[in-house]
Amino acid sequence: MTDWQPYTERAREWFESLRDRICAEFEAIEREAGSDARFEYIPWNRDTDDESEGGGGVRGQMKGKVFEKVGVNVSTVHGDFAPGFAGTINGASEENPGFTATGISLVAHMANPHVPAVHMNTRFITTSKAWFGGGADLNPPIPYEEDTEEFHAAFRAACAAHNPTYYERFKKWADDYFFIPHRNVARGVGGIFYDHLECADETAWERNFAFTKDVGEAFLASFPKIARRRMGMEFTPEDKQQQLEWRGRYVEFNLVYDRGTLFGLKTGGNIDAILMSLPPEVKWS
């Protein structure tokens, strides 16, 4: 049986390096807008009385002129899934509830309603199995076809470099997953989503890790360009109202359907980090 601990550490190190580059790019955008906003980094440790469980991470958050609220979190935790929850996780069971997980999670809510909100995460999880998951999706209150195409093109290219079937499969997975059934609407204009990209051995791990890294690179290559394109646009009170009402749909999805939110709450994660996806201001009409 493969000892996945060194691989977990490699994944963690890369997620942290991606976080650092994303945060630097977002701070640079704030500088360009005349803002001196910077990320605040808040370390946290998993709250547990069991010595066999633990881990933690760093929650990075910034509130600025362009980024009304953005969080970039990296966490690495281990332990046992709670009874009743273990059976819902790939490779875990009530008899074998142990896990390790490391990942990066990002959500940005923008001040200007012409700039889309965005979500991205990638992760590596081990139970009796080991796998990667993640993706990114664009969430514009006011959609622009140019932005949607540029975002999708970046991920289409990342997928094509690894498997010709990935983009269509993972795009459909995102379309199906980021959907609000009780509203019968999509959360945004999509992206890609993948999970349970299993690693049967070290060769498969290297292959899936390379793809996961390219997903992170695709996000970094595409979203800052879109933010810069739209951040200086004029907007009306009606535009802002549209953004605030759209955010309500985002909140509904994340609190009712999002598996990542549930995973964090069920594994003793940092509450502020888990709920950093929620926007600072929202309205329901």
- List residues with catalytic annotation: 119
Distance CA 264, CA 195 (A): 16
Identify whether the C-beta of residue 60 lies closer than 8 Å to the C-beta of residue 72.
yes
CA distances from 229 to 63, 102, 147, 184 (A): 20, 33, 9, 30
Q: Which of these, 100, 32, 106, 35, lies nearest to 73 by C-alpha position?
A: 106
CA angle 216, 219, 220 (to 5 degrees): 90
Distance CA 247, CA 243 (A): 6
At residue 113, the 3 state secondary structure works out as coil
Distance CA 268, CA 166 (A): 32
Residue bearing tokens 């906003």: 37
Identify whether the C-beta of residue 69 lies closer than 8 Å to the C-beta of residue 58.
no
At residue 31, the 3 state secondary structure works out as helix
